[in-house]
Amino acid sequence: MKEKVYEFLRTIPKGRVVTYGQIAEHLGNKKAARAVGNILHNNPDENKYPCYKAVDSKGNLSKHFAFGGIEKQKEKLEEEGIEVCNYKVDLDKYKMR
């Protein structure tokens, strides 16, 4: 499952985010969102697998982002033109469809 999660991350276009549940659903088990989060936390290569593009179901950033914390995740999203307000993104505007 973990390889599929990491490969899915590579399909997310610039300027878009996905939810943990969205990744889980794509993999065929929409109840596996927590497992997806754990896999992302153990990402071996943030440059190859852009886990900073994953947010929770309400658009909140991860307080425990593995590569520098929530501030770093915010910074990386903003570099792609994604607006972050109070550590949250507007899923209606930025969620990959």
Active-site annotation, residues: 51
> Which ranges of the chain does DSSP label H, i.e. alpha helix?
2-9, 20-26, 33-41, 69-79, 91-94
Cα 17 to the center of its chain, rounded Å:
6
Tokens 């999203």 identify what position?
77
